[in-house]
Structures are given as structure tokens and as C-alpha cells.
Structure 1
């Protein structure tokens, strides 16, 4: 099964744009929670830093923060099939200050059963490019947020959800070849408890580490966008391992 992105009514965001090409996420919550706009309480400390990451070997690559120091103010127990709500600041994304982001979104999860020192991530969703809808970043600019389906076949326990936008504006060269270039990553994370789903089983395939999951020369990370921000030839493949439970192409 492929977990696809859908959309819901946009949230009101109030975060400011800081600096050139620095866009901001409002927070991550649960779409079925009546307190959704205010419940991104399990984000790591300093996770909402606005600067993207271009260094694929950065220790902050997983969640755009040094370490995974999650607060323990509250705990939310989610069930299989529930929806993550990822809200972005529409004002900053639509701002004419700085270049416009163009690129895909990837969504990941990792179990913390063995601790957080060497997390193994698996991909649960993506949104790349289509002629009808454009990039994932275009979808975010239109709607302000994304909704991502949670897998319903995982073992109960604590997990980290990771969402990332990949900006390809400067992806014509790698960051190693030119420090001013390279794909730019905007990841954020949310820790939560999972109470279980249908036919729970341990995830054993498609597991990767951050940093390490991406190479600068990966398909989808090294390319020159057209003048109007489209992928070459109008086709694009989102980087990363196969989606969890993917049954089709």
C-alpha cells in the first residue's frame, strides 16, 4: 500500500521569514486531534531553526537540530492509519523575499525501541512533481499544509515522524563542489507513542540512517531545473528507498 498525501483546510500561521531562502514550518501535529494547531509539543528543542541543511553528512540532518532532545511535556498515543498534519507558514512561502522553493517532500518514521543514537528510518510517503499539481512545494504554497497517512501495520511503541522538503533551486551542483550550491533540506520531527495497528510486524526492509541515506549525486538531488522551476523533461523521481508497504510501481 502506498500512503499518499491529501489536503485539508489550511491552518493560520504566524511565523516570520528570516533570511534569504529560509522558509519555516509551523509545526507537526495530528489531524484527528481537536488541539492540532497547538500540539506540536514533542518537537526536538531548536527544531524550528529556519536555515536549511545542504551538508548531507551533517549530524543535524535527521531533524535539523543537534541531537534529538525531545521534551516530555505531554504524550500522545496515536493509532494505525491516523493522519499527521504538517503545517507551513504560507506568508513566508509565498514571500517575494528570496528565491521560491521548488522541490519534493519525503516523509519518514523510525522506532526508538533501541534508543535514538542509531535510528533506522523507513519512508512512508512522498510527493514529487506532476504536470497537474506541480511540486510538493507548490501544493504547500496553495494549501499551507500537508496530511500524511501513518502506517497501520507497525508494532506498538515510541516512534519519530520525520517530514522534509527538498529545495532543488540550487541543485545544479553538489554542495561539496560549490558550498553555495546543492539541494537544500528542511526536515522536522515529532516523537509520539503508537498504540498499534492491523497485523503489526517489525519493519526490516528499506531502513536507512541519517546522515547516510542520501548521496549528493542521487537521482533527484543533482539536476538543473528549467527557468520556470520545473524538472528537466517534466519528469522527476523522488530520492530514497522504496516506500513502506509499496505494492505498485
Structure 2
């Protein structure tokens, strides 16, 4: 007996629909997490130099994540004052509103305040509304506490997803990651290891990532970053490189 003509005509489209339905979650997941590939230096540095924070060749941008911290951040501010260096601090909104005076003081001392999100959430599940609200809420807090509108956004863990890209765009913020970091968040980090790692990765036009808080990392690890700062800044200056904020960095 021959196959029913209607069944023969509709079976291929039906199979195609079932295949599409099965692949849809994979497609959505790829769209959500695909931009996170920029976390990899081998992807970010050659293909997305602006995202890596590549600026003027005579300059290095110094940035800090995860603050403000009422114990650690003031010590960084004092060391930076002594070095005559200004930096960009990517703050978490939930901590900024708990320590408004510290955020205001950081800005008064000439540093740049940027957005690190409201909290240090992991990004794996799509959450467009949460990301959009958290980034916007933090940007408003920074404006209220400093009188200036933030320009930059760095996502927690440095992982950009589609919702995070869209949240930054909607808030008028530019995503910036980094080109050199000291892995100062590790429990076994030392001032020497932080210094060596940054020096090995850094070139003129680069952006350095350090942390002025240990809330998201090993207890007390910020001390390694703090003690490494004079050597890092000294090396940059010996190489003829100015050290400053992202706003001074000349990102194209």
C-alpha cells in the first residue's frame, strides 16, 4: 500500500519543525553566552581591542574591581595619592550605597567611578530584566553619590553575556575588560606574583585589572595588590608610560 499523499507532503515540514524546536534552546543559549568568549585573551586582545581597554600607546589605565570596601579601599586611595596616580574604580552598587561617603571621597580625590553591576552575580542564566535594572540602578547611585555620570561598565567575572551587553547599552555605558591582571584574588597571591603577572602581560596602551576588596575572593588577598602597586607603577614610569584612568586612556 502506498503512503498517504497528505502524510508524505507534511512529514518533512513536521520533522523540520521538531528539529527546530529541539535546537531552539541551544540557539538561545548560544545567543546568551556567546559574547562571553571575549573573556579569553586570545579572542579579546586581537579581535576586540577596544573591549580589552587598548588605548594610547604612551598610557596605561589602572582599574580596580569589587569595591568599595571600608577596610581596603581607603588604603588603596592613600597609596595612590602617594604615587600621584589616579585610577578607575568599578564599584558594586549594593556596596556603594552602603558606603556612600567612601564613594564620594574616592571621586573627590580625583579617581573615576565606574559600574561593576549591582551585585557580583554569576551570569549563566538569561536574566535581561535583572541585568538591566541592576546596571541602571548602579549607574544612578554613582551619579547621585559623585555628581557625575559613569562612562564605563565591567561585568562581574569579566563575563559579558547578551543581557549584560544590552544593559550597558541601555544605560549609556561602554563595556571595558582588561589586557593585564595580577590574579590578586587568589589565596596564594603575593605582591611578587601580582607584580610579575602584570608586568609579563602589560604593554603600552594596556589596561590593568586589580581588586580593592576581598568580598568575592580569598580573605585578605587585596593586600597583595596593594603592596604590588608601587612596583607596577614604577615599572610603567621607567618604560616611559603614564598611568591613569580610563577617561585619560584615549580608547578609540
| Shorter-chain TM band | under 0.3
Q: Which of the pair has more CA radius of gyration?
A: 2
Give 1 or 2: higher strand fraction.
1
TM-score (norm 1): 0.25
TM-score (norm 2): 0.25
Give 1 or 2: higher helix fraction.
2
